[in-house]
Structure 1
Amino acid sequence: MAKVYDRITDELTRFIQSQQIFFVATAPLSSSGHINLSPKGLDSFRILSPNRVVYLDLTGSGNETSAHLAENQRITFMFCAFQGKPMILRLYGQGQVLLPDSPDWQTHLDLFPAIPGTRQIIVAEIDRVQTSCGTGVPLFQYEGQRSEMVEWAEKKGDRGMWDYWQLKNQTSADGLPTPLSAWMERQ
């Protein structure tokens, strides 16, 4: 049975902290734009308060979340129980992108282990929290985090990562600019 909350409760905090994967969804305002849904892992999510969360955004082949947040701030996080009691948890809110020249960058970066390929930090104010049954989610056994992304970023190094961002992370699939592109111009 679905339940709606105005905040992340202590019980839901424990559920979030026990998950090895979460999903982030954003969309542009244009009805013809592409909705983005991305899986995330690698110990990259933190709860700052019952209505504020943050995650460490690592370099990927696109930068849709960043572009969508710059345009409209809408963001949804989803956590699924793949083991134990079934449940799906969604956090709805307004997000913003923090880059290395943001005043709060270091404070938020210090919440996470150092992970090569860190691109930006996403902070979100949560205004709706909703659970649903999750009985349609299959059971999976957790084996561990993949190492390929971290190894790839280490191999690229700082200069290689910068070049990759220039090539792949300046705009969304729909041509929306990302905050990363403006930050790179300031450097």
Structure 2
Amino acid sequence: MAKQFPHLDDAHQKFINEQHMFFVGSAGVEGRVNISPKGMDSLRILGPNRIVWMNLTGSGNETAGHLLEVNRMTLMWCSFTTRPLILRTFGAAKTLHAGDDGWDELAGHFPNHRSARQIYDLSIDLVQTSCGYAVPFMEFQSDRDTMQKWVDGKSDGDIRAYWVEKNQQTIDGKPTGVPV
């Protein structure tokens, strides 16, 4: 049975910190809903109603485009081990790019990553847990090194050129606001 909370309590925060991946959901006013898996060392809980996560370069940039229209975001974690549990945080998010006020402060919470494209700052207005009884057991082996290898083979200019080519529009053709 689902339970709702006004903020992340200590047990919620512990659960989130134990997970190796999370999912982000966003949608614009019209068009496709996006759900994207995220990993690496890219998420920080800054308080019971605040989460920030660093978005690294990828093949798409849906969340950024959606947040230009509607600032709602959902983050979700699933337990693939031990007790079955799904935890979701709902709220309003804002996007920060390198050079924006607040970027340096928030980026300081993460390892330096040359392909950091945005930081999303989520203000949580609802936390929900549910059973997760149908989520399979899976074993974590390791983080992938594919992203780091890709970045290591690129100059900063190459990464920006990739943003121009692949990250300027959502799949629905809407702007993402990524600076180049």
TM-score with structure 2 length normalisation?
Answer: 0.98
Displacement of 1:161: 0.2
Residue 3 of structure 2 corresponds to which residue in structure 1?
3
Displacement of 1:100: 0.8
The 8 Å contact of residues 98 and 122 in structure 1, kept in 2 or not, is answered as yes
Displacement of 1:92: 0.4
Q: What is the rounded CA distance, in whole Å, between the counterparts of 1:95 and 1:59 in structure 2?
A: 19
The 8 Å contact of residues 7 and 49 in structure 2, kept in 1 or not, is answered as yes
Q: Any idea what SS the aligned residue of 1:83 has?
A: coil
Residues 21-70 of structure 1, C-alpha deviation per residue, up to 9 Å, x if partnerless? 0000101111xx11111100001111111111100100011110000011
Residue 110 of structure 1 corresponds to which residue in structure 2?
108
Structure-to-structure mapping, 1:25-36, within 5 angstroms: 25-30=25-30, 33-36=31-34
Structure 2: segments with no counterpart, 5+ residues: none
Q: Look up the equivalent residue of 1:122 and give its one-letter code.
A: Y
Q: CA RMSD in A?
A: 0.8
Residue 69 of structure 1 corresponds to which residue in structure 2?
67
The 8 Å contact of residues 77 and 91 in structure 1, kept in 2 or not, is answered as yes
**Higher deviation after alignment, 129-138 or 147-156:** 147-156
Residue 39 of structure 1 corresponds to which residue in structure 2?
37
The 8 Å contact of residues 93 and 123 in structure 2, kept in 1 or not, is answered as yes
Displacement of 1:134: 0.5
**Higher deviation after alignment, 153-162 or 138-147:** 153-162
Q: Look up the equivalent residue of 2:25 and give its one-letter code.
A: A
Q: What is the rounded CA distance, in whole Å, between the counterparts of 1:43 and 1:92 in structure 2?
A: 21
Answering whether residue 176 of structure 2 is matched by residue 173 of structure 1, we say: no
The 8 Å contact of residues 114 and 156 in structure 2, kept in 1 or not, is answered as no
TM-score with structure 1 length normalisation?
Answer: 0.94
Answering whether residue 142 of structure 2 is matched by residue 160 of structure 1, we say: no
Answering whether residue 40 of structure 2 is matched by residue 58 of structure 1, we say: no
Residues 3-24 of structure 1, C-alpha deviation per residue, up to 9 Å, x if partnerless? 0000011110000000000000
Displacement of 1:80: 0.3
The 8 Å contact of residues 117 and 154 in structure 1, kept in 2 or not, is answered as no
Q: Look up the equivalent residue of 2:150 and give its one-letter code.
A: W
Displacement of 1:116: 3.4
**Structure with the largest fraction of helix:** 1
The 8 Å contact of residues 25 and 73 in structure 2, kept in 1 or not, is answered as yes
Number of aligned positions between the proteins: 180
Q: Which ranges of 4 or more aligned residues in structure 1 deviate by more than 4 Å?
A: none
Displacement of 1:74: 1.1
